[in-house]
A and B are shown apart, each in its own frame.
Chain A
Protein backbone atom coordinates (compact mmCIF):
# COMPACT_ATOMS: atom_id res chain seq x y z
CA UNK A 1 0.00 0.00 0.00
CA UNK A 2 1.18 3.51 -0.60
CA UNK A 3 3.32 5.48 1.72
CA UNK A 4 0.99 8.40 1.30
CA UNK A 5 -1.34 10.04 3.67
CA UNK A 6 -4.63 11.86 3.92
CA UNK A 7 -5.58 12.42 7.49
CA UNK A 8 -9.20 12.74 8.31
CA UNK A 9 -10.75 10.91 11.18
CA UNK A 10 -14.15 11.07 12.73
CA UNK A 11 -13.75 13.67 15.41
CA UNK A 12 -16.40 11.99 17.48
CA UNK A 13 -14.30 8.90 18.00
CA UNK A 14 -12.34 9.07 21.22
CA UNK A 15 -9.39 6.71 21.34
CA UNK A 16 -9.30 4.24 24.15
CA UNK A 17 -6.91 4.65 27.03
CA UNK A 18 -5.64 1.09 27.39
CA UNK A 19 -2.67 2.08 29.48
CA UNK A 20 -4.86 3.73 32.03
CA UNK A 21 -2.65 6.76 32.08
CA UNK A 22 -5.05 8.45 34.42
CA UNK A 23 -6.85 11.74 34.21
CA UNK A 24 -3.71 13.78 33.75
CA UNK A 25 -3.14 12.14 30.39
CA UNK A 26 -6.48 13.20 29.01
CA UNK A 27 -5.82 15.06 25.82
CA UNK A 28 -7.12 18.58 25.81
CA UNK A 29 -7.90 20.89 23.00
CA UNK A 30 -5.23 23.52 22.54
CA UNK A 31 -6.10 27.09 23.27
CA UNK A 32 -5.06 28.16 19.78
CA UNK A 33 -7.94 28.29 17.38
CA UNK A 34 -6.69 26.65 14.21
CA UNK A 35 -7.41 28.35 10.92
CA UNK A 36 -9.86 26.75 8.50
CA UNK A 37 -8.76 23.41 7.02
CA UNK A 38 -6.40 22.98 9.98
CA UNK A 39 -3.85 25.09 8.13
CA UNK A 40 -2.20 25.94 11.44
CA UNK A 41 -1.39 22.30 11.96
CA UNK A 42 -1.97 19.99 14.90
CA UNK A 43 0.65 19.19 17.48
CA UNK A 44 0.75 16.26 19.86
CA UNK A 45 3.12 16.63 22.84
CA UNK A 46 4.15 13.56 24.80
CA UNK A 47 5.87 13.86 28.16
CA UNK A 48 5.42 12.11 31.49
CA UNK A 49 5.56 15.46 33.29
CA UNK A 50 2.04 17.01 33.34
CA UNK A 51 3.37 20.43 34.39
CA UNK A 52 5.73 20.56 31.43
CA UNK A 53 2.90 19.51 29.12
CA UNK A 54 0.55 22.18 30.37
CA UNK A 55 3.17 24.92 30.09
CA UNK A 56 4.16 23.96 26.57
CA UNK A 57 0.58 23.46 25.47
CA UNK A 58 -0.03 27.09 26.36
CA UNK A 59 3.16 28.34 24.73
CA UNK A 60 2.76 26.41 21.49
CA UNK A 61 -0.92 27.17 21.04
CA UNK A 62 0.03 30.87 20.90
CA UNK A 63 2.47 30.43 18.00
CA UNK A 64 1.81 32.59 14.94
CA UNK A 65 0.50 29.57 12.99
CA UNK A 66 -2.09 29.06 15.79
CA UNK A 67 -1.81 25.28 15.94
CA UNK A 68 -4.18 23.05 17.83
CA UNK A 69 -2.18 21.39 20.60
CA UNK A 70 -3.02 18.10 22.28
CA UNK A 71 -1.13 16.40 25.06
CA UNK A 72 -0.46 12.89 26.35
CA UNK A 73 1.40 11.73 29.43
CA UNK A 74 2.12 8.20 28.23
CA UNK A 75 3.23 6.59 25.01
CA UNK A 76 0.21 4.31 24.67
CA UNK A 77 -2.13 7.24 24.85
CA UNK A 78 -0.04 9.19 22.34
CA UNK A 79 -0.03 6.30 19.87
CA UNK A 80 -3.80 5.88 20.25
CA UNK A 81 -4.28 9.58 19.50
CA UNK A 82 -2.01 9.36 16.47
CA UNK A 83 -4.06 6.42 15.19
CA UNK A 84 -7.35 8.20 15.56
CA UNK A 85 -6.64 11.81 14.65
CA UNK A 86 -4.52 13.64 12.12
CA UNK A 87 -1.42 15.40 13.45
CA UNK A 88 1.21 17.50 11.75
CA UNK A 89 3.84 17.27 14.41
CA UNK A 90 4.75 14.99 17.31
CA UNK A 91 6.93 16.39 20.08
CA UNK A 92 8.14 13.75 22.50
CA UNK A 93 10.36 13.50 25.52
CA UNK A 94 12.96 10.76 25.10
CA UNK A 95 13.23 9.47 28.65
CA UNK A 96 9.99 8.06 29.90
CA UNK A 97 9.01 4.98 31.92
CA UNK A 98 7.75 1.81 30.16
CA UNK A 99 7.85 2.91 26.52
CA UNK A 100 10.51 5.56 25.89
CA UNK A 101 10.52 8.32 23.30
CA UNK A 102 12.75 6.40 20.88
CA UNK A 103 10.22 3.58 20.69
CA UNK A 104 7.40 6.04 20.12
CA UNK A 105 9.38 7.79 17.39
CA UNK A 106 10.19 4.51 15.66
CA UNK A 107 6.54 3.44 15.75
CA UNK A 108 5.24 6.83 14.64
CA UNK A 109 7.76 7.06 11.79
CA UNK A 110 6.76 3.64 10.49
CA UNK A 111 3.02 4.25 10.73
CA UNK A 112 2.93 7.90 9.68
CA UNK A 113 5.80 8.59 7.29
CA UNK A 114 4.96 12.27 6.78
CA UNK A 115 4.43 13.12 10.46
CA UNK A 116 7.08 15.62 11.54
CA UNK A 117 8.84 14.72 14.75
CA UNK A 118 10.71 16.61 17.43
CA UNK A 119 12.62 14.97 20.28
CA UNK A 120 13.17 16.89 23.49
CA UNK A 121 15.30 15.82 26.41
CA UNK A 122 16.80 17.15 29.57
CA UNK A 123 20.03 15.30 28.78
CA UNK A 124 22.93 16.85 26.94
CA UNK A 125 24.53 13.84 25.34
CA UNK A 126 26.13 13.66 21.91
CA UNK A 127 25.42 9.96 21.44
CA UNK A 128 21.82 10.46 22.45
CA UNK A 129 21.59 13.21 19.89
CA UNK A 130 23.14 11.06 17.15
CA UNK A 131 20.79 8.19 18.01
CA UNK A 132 17.80 10.52 17.91
CA UNK A 133 18.71 11.90 14.48
CA UNK A 134 19.45 8.41 13.24
CA UNK A 135 15.94 7.39 14.24
CA UNK A 136 14.68 9.87 11.69
CA UNK A 137 13.51 12.90 13.63
CA UNK A 138 13.20 16.40 12.22
CA UNK A 139 14.56 18.23 15.26
CA UNK A 140 16.40 17.31 18.43
CA UNK A 141 16.53 19.83 21.22
CA UNK A 142 17.26 20.02 24.90
CA UNK A 143 14.28 21.09 26.99
CA UNK A 144 14.15 24.86 26.76
CA UNK A 145 14.27 26.57 30.13
CA UNK A 146 15.10 30.24 29.63
CA UNK A 147 12.76 32.72 27.89
CA UNK A 148 15.19 32.95 24.94
CA UNK A 149 15.38 29.17 24.58
CA UNK A 150 11.61 28.94 24.76
CA UNK A 151 11.25 31.61 22.07
CA UNK A 152 13.75 29.84 19.80
CA UNK A 153 12.05 26.50 20.38
CA UNK A 154 8.71 28.07 19.46
CA UNK A 155 10.18 29.50 16.26
CA UNK A 156 11.58 26.10 15.28
CA UNK A 157 8.23 24.40 15.90
CA UNK A 158 6.39 27.12 13.97
CA UNK A 159 8.80 26.72 11.06
CA UNK A 160 8.19 22.96 10.99
CA UNK A 161 4.43 23.51 11.05
CA UNK A 162 4.34 26.07 8.31
CA UNK A 163 6.79 24.27 6.08
CA UNK A 164 4.98 22.95 3.03
CA UNK A 165 5.69 19.75 1.18
CA UNK A 166 9.41 19.27 0.98
CA UNK A 167 10.91 19.69 -2.42
CA UNK A 168 14.05 17.85 -1.48
CA UNK A 169 15.72 16.16 1.44
CA UNK A 170 15.29 12.80 3.00
CA UNK A 171 12.28 12.11 5.15
CA UNK A 172 13.28 12.23 8.77
CA UNK A 173 16.43 14.17 8.11
CA UNK A 174 14.53 16.88 6.45
CA UNK A 175 17.08 19.65 6.63
CA UNK A 176 19.89 17.23 6.13
CA UNK A 177 21.35 15.48 3.16
CA UNK A 178 22.24 11.86 2.73
CA UNK A 179 25.79 12.96 3.48
CA UNK A 180 24.78 14.17 6.96
CA UNK A 181 22.90 10.99 7.60
CA UNK A 182 25.83 8.74 6.68
CA UNK A 183 28.21 10.93 8.66
CA UNK A 184 26.04 10.62 11.76
CA UNK A 185 25.96 6.84 11.45
CA UNK A 186 29.71 6.56 10.82
CA UNK A 187 30.67 9.01 13.56
CA UNK A 188 28.53 7.05 16.01
CA UNK A 189 30.36 3.90 14.84
CA UNK A 190 27.05 2.23 14.21
CA UNK A 191 26.33 -0.96 12.32
CA UNK A 192 23.27 -0.39 10.19
CA UNK A 193 21.73 -0.95 6.84
CA UNK A 194 20.38 2.24 5.36
CA UNK A 195 17.48 1.46 3.07
CA UNK A 196 16.56 4.32 0.78
CA UNK A 197 13.57 4.34 -1.52
CA UNK A 198 12.77 6.80 -4.21
CA UNK A 199 9.67 6.03 -6.20
CA UNK A 200 10.04 2.42 -7.26
CA UNK A 201 13.82 2.50 -6.78
CA UNK A 202 15.38 0.99 -3.71
CA UNK A 203 18.99 1.34 -2.61
CA UNK A 204 20.84 -0.05 0.39
CA UNK A 205 24.01 1.09 2.08
CA UNK A 206 25.70 -1.22 4.60
CA UNK A 207 27.51 0.47 7.48
CA UNK A 208 29.56 -1.74 9.79
CA UNK A 209 31.25 -0.35 12.89
CA UNK A 210 31.21 3.14 11.44
CA UNK A 211 32.52 2.16 7.97
CA UNK A 212 30.57 2.09 4.75
CA UNK A 213 31.28 -1.45 3.52
CA UNK A 214 28.85 -1.98 0.65
CA UNK A 215 25.98 -0.49 -1.33
CA UNK A 216 23.46 -1.86 -3.77
CA UNK A 217 20.92 -0.37 -6.15
CA UNK A 218 19.30 -2.09 -9.12
CA UNK A 219 22.13 -4.11 -10.69
CA UNK A 220 24.93 -1.95 -9.26
CA UNK A 221 26.98 -2.79 -6.18
CA UNK A 222 29.85 -1.24 -4.24
CA UNK A 223 31.09 2.30 -4.85
CA UNK A 224 29.19 2.63 -8.12
CA UNK A 225 25.94 1.88 -6.36
CA UNK A 226 26.84 4.23 -3.51
CA UNK A 227 27.45 7.09 -5.93
CA UNK A 228 24.17 6.43 -7.69
CA UNK A 229 22.23 6.50 -4.38
CA UNK A 230 24.19 9.50 -3.20
CA UNK A 231 22.95 11.42 -6.25
CA UNK A 232 19.32 11.12 -5.17
CA UNK A 233 18.08 14.40 -3.83
CA UNK A 234 14.95 13.10 -2.17
CA UNK A 235 13.38 9.89 -0.98
CA UNK A 236 12.50 7.95 2.14
CA UNK A 237 14.95 6.16 4.31
CA UNK A 238 14.76 3.47 6.91
CA UNK A 239 17.48 2.30 9.25
CA UNK A 240 17.66 -1.46 9.56
CA UNK A 241 19.85 -3.52 11.89
CA UNK A 242 23.36 -4.12 10.58
CA UNK A 243 24.42 -7.30 8.81
CA UNK A 244 27.89 -8.37 10.06
CA UNK A 245 27.99 -11.15 7.43
CA UNK A 246 27.72 -8.72 4.52
CA UNK A 247 30.72 -9.05 2.22
CA UNK A 248 32.79 -5.90 2.09
CA UNK A 249 33.22 -4.32 -1.35
CA UNK A 250 34.08 -0.76 -0.26
CA UNK A 251 37.41 -0.42 1.53
CA UNK A 252 38.17 3.30 1.61
CA UNK A 253 37.43 5.59 4.54
CA UNK A 254 33.89 6.90 4.54
CA UNK A 255 35.14 10.50 4.41
CA UNK A 256 36.90 9.94 1.06
CA UNK A 257 33.94 8.00 -0.26
CA UNK A 258 31.60 10.89 0.58
CA UNK A 259 34.02 13.37 -0.93
CA UNK A 260 34.41 11.36 -4.16
CA UNK A 261 30.67 10.92 -4.44
CA UNK A 262 30.01 14.62 -3.87
CA UNK A 263 32.57 15.45 -6.55
CA UNK A 264 31.00 13.04 -9.05
CA UNK A 265 27.62 14.51 -8.26
CA UNK A 266 28.84 18.05 -8.94
CA UNK A 267 30.43 16.99 -12.21
CA UNK A 268 27.27 15.24 -13.35
CA UNK A 269 24.88 17.92 -12.16
CA UNK A 270 25.10 20.06 -15.29
CA UNK A 271 24.59 17.11 -17.64
CA UNK A 272 22.15 15.03 -15.65
CA UNK A 273 19.91 17.08 -13.41
CA UNK A 274 18.07 15.18 -10.74
CA UNK A 275 14.87 13.97 -12.32
CA UNK A 276 11.59 14.75 -10.63
CA UNK A 277 9.19 12.08 -9.56
CA UNK A 278 7.47 12.20 -12.92
CA UNK A 279 10.75 11.26 -14.57
CA UNK A 280 11.74 8.51 -12.21
CA UNK A 281 13.65 6.13 -14.46
CA UNK A 282 12.04 3.22 -12.66
CA UNK A 283 8.54 4.44 -13.46
CA UNK A 284 6.52 2.79 -16.21
CA UNK A 285 5.68 5.12 -19.10
CA UNK A 286 1.93 4.68 -18.56
CA UNK A 287 2.22 6.08 -15.03
CA UNK A 288 4.17 9.24 -15.86
CA UNK A 289 1.24 11.56 -16.76
CA UNK A 290 -0.67 10.25 -13.74
CA UNK A 291 2.27 10.99 -11.42
CA UNK A 292 2.13 14.64 -12.44
CA UNK A 293 -1.36 15.14 -11.01
CA UNK A 294 -1.17 17.35 -7.93
CA UNK A 295 -1.01 15.46 -4.66
CA UNK A 296 -0.29 12.04 -6.20
CA UNK A 297 2.40 10.21 -4.25
CA UNK A 298 2.07 6.64 -5.44
CA UNK A 299 0.38 4.74 -8.24
CA UNK A 300 -0.74 1.24 -9.05
CA UNK A 301 -2.27 0.60 -12.47
CA UNK A 302 -3.83 -2.79 -13.16
CA UNK A 303 -3.78 -3.29 -16.90
CA UNK A 304 -5.05 -6.85 -17.10
CA UNK A 305 -5.61 -9.92 -15.03
CA UNK A 306 -2.61 -10.22 -12.75
CA UNK A 307 -0.59 -7.55 -14.55
CA UNK A 308 0.06 -4.16 -13.04
CA UNK A 309 2.56 -1.32 -12.95
CA UNK A 310 3.32 0.44 -9.72
CA UNK A 311 5.29 3.38 -8.44
CA UNK A 312 5.98 4.11 -4.77
CA UNK A 313 3.60 1.40 -3.54
CA UNK A 314 4.58 -0.97 -0.76
CA UNK A 315 3.07 -4.48 -0.93
CA UNK A 316 2.14 -3.83 -4.55
CA UNK A 317 0.77 -7.31 -5.16
CA UNK A 318 -1.51 -7.27 -2.11
CA UNK A 319 -2.56 -3.70 -2.88
CA UNK A 320 -3.43 -4.70 -6.45
CA UNK A 321 -5.63 -7.48 -5.08
CA UNK A 322 -7.35 -5.12 -2.65
CA UNK A 323 -7.89 -2.51 -5.37
CA UNK A 324 -9.44 -5.04 -7.74
CA UNK A 325 -11.69 -6.59 -5.09
CA UNK A 326 -12.84 -3.23 -3.73
CA UNK A 327 -13.66 -1.80 -7.13
CA UNK A 328 -15.48 -5.00 -8.12
CA UNK A 329 -17.49 -4.95 -4.87
CA UNK A 330 -18.56 -1.32 -5.30
CA UNK A 331 -19.38 -1.81 -8.98
CA UNK A 332 -21.59 -4.73 -8.02
CA UNK A 333 -23.16 -2.60 -5.28
CA UNK A 334 -23.85 0.19 -7.79
CA UNK A 335 -25.61 -2.27 -10.10
CA UNK A 336 -27.66 -3.71 -7.25
CA UNK A 337 -28.75 -0.22 -6.18
CA UNK A 338 -29.16 1.14 -9.72
CA UNK A 339 -26.91 3.98 -8.58
CA UNK A 340 -25.39 4.65 -12.00
CA UNK A 341 -21.75 4.25 -13.00
CA UNK A 342 -19.12 4.19 -10.27
CA UNK A 343 -16.90 7.24 -10.72
CA UNK A 344 -14.42 6.68 -7.92
CA UNK A 345 -13.84 5.16 -4.51
CA UNK A 346 -11.90 7.30 -2.05
CA UNK A 347 -10.47 5.98 1.19
CA UNK A 348 -8.61 7.98 3.78
CA UNK A 349 -6.90 7.11 7.02
CA UNK A 350 -4.65 8.80 9.50
CA UNK A 351 -1.60 7.71 7.53
CA UNK A 352 -2.72 7.42 3.95
CA UNK A 353 -5.35 8.26 1.40
CA UNK A 354 -6.18 6.59 -1.89
CA UNK A 355 -8.41 7.10 -4.88
CA UNK A 356 -9.56 4.03 -6.81
CA UNK A 357 -10.73 4.34 -10.40
CA UNK A 358 -11.84 1.91 -13.06
CA UNK A 359 -11.88 2.96 -16.68
CA UNK A 360 -11.22 1.48 -20.12
CA UNK A 361 -10.60 -1.93 -18.61
CA UNK A 362 -7.90 -0.54 -16.35
CA UNK A 363 -8.01 -0.14 -12.60
CA UNK A 364 -6.02 2.49 -10.77
CA UNK A 365 -5.09 3.06 -7.15
CA UNK A 366 -3.50 6.45 -6.55
CA UNK A 367 -2.01 7.37 -3.18
CA UNK A 368 -2.75 11.00 -2.37
CA UNK A 369 -0.77 13.31 -0.10
CA UNK A 370 -2.52 13.46 3.28
CA UNK A 371 -2.16 17.23 3.36
CA UNK A 372 -4.73 17.44 0.58
CA UNK A 373 -8.23 18.11 1.85
CA UNK A 374 -11.29 16.14 0.70
CA UNK A 375 -12.02 18.56 -2.14
CA UNK A 376 -8.47 18.31 -3.44
CA UNK A 377 -8.57 14.51 -3.23
CA UNK A 378 -11.72 14.57 -5.33
CA UNK A 379 -10.16 16.98 -7.84
CA UNK A 380 -7.12 14.72 -8.09
CA UNK A 381 -9.46 11.79 -8.73
CA UNK A 382 -11.21 13.66 -11.54
CA UNK A 383 -7.92 14.61 -13.14
CA UNK A 384 -6.65 11.04 -12.90
CA UNK A 385 -9.90 9.80 -14.47
CA UNK A 386 -9.37 12.20 -17.38
CA UNK A 387 -5.86 10.86 -17.92
CA UNK A 388 -7.07 7.27 -17.73
CA UNK A 389 -9.81 8.08 -20.24
CA UNK A 390 -7.15 9.17 -22.73
CA UNK A 391 -5.36 5.84 -22.58
Chain B
Protein backbone atom coordinates (compact mmCIF):
# COMPACT_ATOMS: atom_id res chain seq x y z
CA UNK B 1 0.00 0.00 0.00
CA UNK B 2 1.36 3.40 -0.85
CA UNK B 3 2.20 5.56 2.11
CA UNK B 4 0.21 8.75 2.57
CA UNK B 5 2.37 11.67 1.58
CA UNK B 6 2.53 14.32 4.30
CA UNK B 7 0.75 17.46 3.18
CA UNK B 8 2.18 20.73 4.43
CA UNK B 9 2.69 24.27 3.27
CA UNK B 10 4.68 24.84 0.12
CA UNK B 11 8.37 25.73 0.37
CA UNK B 12 9.02 29.42 -0.22
CA UNK B 13 12.21 31.13 -1.30
CA UNK B 14 13.66 34.07 0.62
CA UNK B 15 13.81 37.49 -1.02
CA UNK B 16 12.07 40.75 -1.62
CA UNK B 17 10.51 42.71 -4.42
CA UNK B 18 9.05 46.11 -5.03
CA UNK B 19 5.63 46.59 -6.49
CA UNK B 20 4.31 49.86 -7.90
CA UNK B 21 0.98 51.39 -6.91
CA UNK B 22 -0.39 50.06 -10.22
CA UNK B 23 0.51 46.54 -9.14
CA UNK B 24 3.45 45.93 -11.47
CA UNK B 25 6.74 44.47 -10.26
CA UNK B 26 9.57 46.98 -10.35
CA UNK B 27 12.51 44.98 -9.04
CA UNK B 28 12.96 41.60 -7.36
CA UNK B 29 15.61 39.58 -5.54
CA UNK B 30 13.49 36.43 -5.55
CA UNK B 31 14.76 33.51 -7.66
CA UNK B 32 13.35 33.25 -11.16
CA UNK B 33 11.67 29.96 -10.15
CA UNK B 34 9.18 31.86 -7.99
CA UNK B 35 6.24 32.52 -10.30
CA UNK B 36 5.70 36.13 -11.21
CA UNK B 37 1.93 35.80 -11.00
CA UNK B 38 2.28 34.77 -7.34
CA UNK B 39 4.27 37.92 -6.68
CA UNK B 40 1.52 39.96 -8.31
CA UNK B 41 -1.19 38.16 -6.31
CA UNK B 42 0.62 38.86 -3.04
CA UNK B 43 1.22 42.46 -4.09
CA UNK B 44 -2.46 43.01 -4.88
CA UNK B 45 -3.55 41.69 -1.48
CA UNK B 46 -1.02 43.88 0.29
CA UNK B 47 -1.83 47.05 -1.67
CA UNK B 48 -5.56 46.48 -1.22
CA UNK B 49 -5.21 46.09 2.57
CA UNK B 50 -3.01 49.19 2.83
CA UNK B 51 -5.26 51.34 0.65
CA UNK B 52 -8.47 50.28 2.42
CA UNK B 53 -6.87 51.18 5.76
CA UNK B 54 -5.88 54.55 4.32
CA UNK B 55 -9.45 55.14 3.17
CA UNK B 56 -10.59 54.40 6.71
CA UNK B 57 -8.28 57.16 7.94
CA UNK B 58 -5.73 54.87 9.57
CA UNK B 59 -2.78 54.57 7.23
CA UNK B 60 -0.34 51.79 7.97
CA UNK B 61 3.31 51.90 7.01
CA UNK B 62 3.96 48.22 7.55
CA UNK B 63 1.87 45.11 7.20
CA UNK B 64 2.76 41.48 7.89
CA UNK B 65 0.86 38.28 7.24
CA UNK B 66 2.14 35.37 9.28
CA UNK B 67 1.38 31.97 7.75
CA UNK B 68 2.55 28.56 8.92
CA UNK B 69 4.79 28.31 5.86
CA UNK B 70 5.86 31.84 5.13
CA UNK B 71 5.89 35.37 6.46
CA UNK B 72 4.92 38.12 4.04
CA UNK B 73 6.01 41.52 5.31
CA UNK B 74 5.34 44.70 3.35
CA UNK B 75 6.28 48.34 3.77
CA UNK B 76 4.29 51.08 2.16
CA UNK B 77 6.22 53.06 -0.45
CA UNK B 78 4.02 55.99 -1.41
CA UNK B 79 1.21 53.82 -2.70
CA UNK B 80 3.44 50.96 -3.83
CA UNK B 81 5.19 48.54 -1.49
CA UNK B 82 8.36 46.63 -0.85
CA UNK B 83 7.49 43.05 0.03
CA UNK B 84 9.72 40.66 1.95
CA UNK B 85 9.15 36.90 1.63
CA UNK B 86 10.63 34.88 4.47
CA UNK B 87 10.06 31.12 4.73
CA UNK B 88 9.17 29.96 8.24
CA UNK B 89 11.76 27.91 10.06
CA UNK B 90 10.67 24.33 10.74
Contact = CB atoms under 8 A, between A and B. Distances in A.
Contacts of A315: 56-57
Contacts of B25: none
B33 interface: no
Contact of B65 (A13, A84, A333): A333
A341 B68 contact: yes
B75 A343 contact: no
B67 A1 contact: no
B69 A340 contact: yes
A345 B52 contact: no
B52 A322 contact: yes
Interface string B58-90: 111111111111101001111000100000100
Contact of A333 (B45, B53, B76, B88): B45
A339 interface: yes
Dominant secondary structure of chain B at its interface with chain A = mixed
Interface size on B, as a range, is: 20 to 34
Contact of B53 (A13, A330, A340, A347): A347
A338 interface: yes
Given A318-B56, A337-B70, A13 B48 contact: no
A344 B61 contact: no
B78 A13 contact: yes
A325 interface: yes
Interface string A311-325: 000010011001001
B78 to A, nearest CB: 7
Interface stretch (A66-74, A148-156, A268-276, A348-356): A348-356
Interface string A38-57: 00000000000000000000
Contact of A338 (B10, B41, B61, B88): B10
A10 interface: yes
B14 to A, nearest CB: 14
Contacts, number: 111
Contact of B49 (A13, A83, A318, A326): A326
Interface in B23-71: 38, 41-42, 45, 48-49, 52-53, 56-70
B88 to A, nearest CB: 8
B56 A347 contact: no
B2 interface: no
A340 B65 CA distance: 11
Nearest to A338: B10
Contacts of A342: 65-67
A339 B77 contact: no
Nearest to B57: A1
Nearest to A378: B66
Interface string B7-18: 011101000000
Contact of A349 (B48, B59, B67, B77): B59
Nearest to A334: B67
B52 A337 contact: no
Given A337-B38, A341-B68, A342-B65, A348 B56 contact: no
24 contacts: A10-B77, A13-B77, A83-B59, A322-B52, A322-B53, A322-B56, A326-B52, A329-B49, A333-B45, A337-B38, A339-B10, A339-B12, A340-B67, A340-B88, A341-B67, A341-B68, A342-B66, A343-B66, A343-B67, A344-B66, A346-B66, A348-B61, A349-B59, A381-B66
Interface of A: 1, 8-10, 13, 83-84, 315, 318-319, 322, 325-326, 329-330, 332-334, 336-352, 378, 381
